[in-house]
Amino acid sequence: MGAILKVQGKRAIVFCVLSACVFAVMFSQTAYAAPASLPVTLTVEQEFTKPASSSAADAFTYKLTANEAGSPMPSGSSGGEYSFTIDGTGTASVGITYDHAGVYTYELKQVIAAEKTGYTYDKQVYTVKVYIKNGSAGLEQEILVAQKDDGSKVSGVKFTNAYAPLAADPALMVDPPVNKTVSGSPGKDSTFTFKLEAGDRSNPMPAGSVNGVKTLAIVGSGTEDFGTWSYTEAGTYYYTVSEVNTGESGYTYDTTVYTITDSVKDENGQLVLARTVTNASNKQVSAFAFINKYTAASTGGTTDGPKTGDGAMTGLYQTLLGVGGVVLMACMLYLLMDGRRKKRTNFNM
């Protein structure tokens, strides 16, 4: 009987040990079950700058390529490559799901099929490494590193693009001259001043301008020009051209005001200028024509014009006439007195 109990006791011990092993295996399988999948999001930032007046296209394409075949890729990938676009200044979220631990390396760059005039592209190439490890609760993302092509580590992926059309060529700008004409016969040439003034002080101006104004001087009748300048942004720009009344004596100044209208358009990355110049009657002209009239000013019977030989001779004649009159009166007085003296002499005889 005792032997039977001993055998049964041994069986019980074995059963308990086996049961513990089974439970241990089951617990181990539960604790270290196949890891769940882990979604990782890569954020790509784009900054795009352009003039406020520009309607340039602002969508740019990027490509993510796996460095190792079989690496997890975003949905929609093909042949280990994934393409996406970003509009303007914004971001794109690239999602990749991992189901195994490991280190996964990718290359990320901008796709530039053909460089367009006026655009500046960010040609940076990023190497992105994603570290996935097994954790107590499944897969864990240990770190996401973006590494530039020069080997420096950065905290994120950012591309900077810009658009700025080529400036308008000053050599193609129509530069109407200032034509100054003086009518009348002044004794000397006077200096006349003309002014180019921007409708907005921020407008481009020729060299030598100050606060949206440039002046030039013409001595007597003549022709001069203000010079050319360049535009870097599309838009409509206004200027006026007029004469400055400096108060030269004897002159009537021309008060005409001319208007310059510059229409600047962006044509495939090149700014192109179309200019019109109009007078006070809104008629197009090809030059800024100003006519000043000269008349000798009179004050107290004298003129501000130069004295001629005739004037000098007139004074001489007046002097001689006065002297002659005095001599004539002296002669007449002498004759009259001489006549009276002779009469008295004859009477006494």
Q: Specify whether 122 is located in the same domain as 59.
A: yes
Q: What average pLDDT does range 119-142 have in this prediction?
A: 93
Of the three residues 136, 163, 190, the one that is the final residue of a domain is 163
Q: Do 132 and 190 have their domain in common?
A: no
Domain membership flag for residue 30: no
Q: Which of 296, 319, 343 is the C-terminal boundary of a domain?
A: 296
Residue 302: inside a domain: no
Residue 80 phi, psi dihedral angles, 5° rounding: 75, 20
Same domain membership, residue 158 and residue 49: yes
Together in a domain, 84 and 123: yes
345 confidence band (pLDDT: 50, 70, 90) = very low
Residue 3 lies in a domain: no
- Quote the DSSP letter at residue 230: -
The three-point CA angle 101-106-112 to 5° equals 160
Q: Please compute the mean of the pLDDT values over residues 209-225 and round it to a whole number.
A: 97
Question: Within this chain, do residues 135 and 207 fall inside the same structural domain, yes or no?
Answer: no
Final residue belonging to a domain, choices 163, 185, 207: 163
pLDDT tens per residue across span 268-286: 999 999 999 999 999 999 9
Chain-wide mean pLDDT for the chain? 84
Give the per-residue pLDDT at 346. 46
Let me know if residue 6 belongs to a domain: no
In a domain, 199, yes or no: yes
pLDDT tens string 69-114: 999 999 999 999 999 999 999 999 999 999 999 999 999 999 999 9
Residue 223 has pLDDT above 50, yes or no: yes
- Domain shared by 136 and 214, yes or no: no
In a domain, 11, yes or no: no
Residue 269: DSSP 8-state: T
Two tokens, residue 310 = 């005739």
The structural domain count of the chain equals 2
Q: What's the CATH number where 271 sits?
A: 2.60.40.3050
Who's near 66: CB < 8 A, 6+ residues apart?
Answer: 73, 80, 81, 104, 105, 106
pLDDT for position 78: 96
Give the 3-state secondary structure of residue 317: helix
Same domain, residue pair 103 and 195: no
Name the pLDDT band for 138 (thresholds 50, 70, 90): confident
Answer yes or no: do 121 and 183 share one domain. no
Q: Are residues 204 and 287 in the same domain?
A: yes
Q: Note the pLDDT tens digit of each residue in 28-47.
A: 444 445 458 999 999 999 99
**Do 107 and 71 fall within a single domain?**
yes
Q: Which of 100-109, 125-134, 300-309 has the lowest mean pLDDT?
A: 300-309
What are the residue ranges of helices labelled H in the chain? 2-31, 309-348
Range of the domain at 148: 38-163
For the segment 317-335, what is each residue's pLDDT rounded down to a tens digit? 455 556 556 556 665 666 6
Is 261 contained in some domain? Answer: yes
pLDDT for 31 equals: 47
Residue 240, pLDDT score: 98
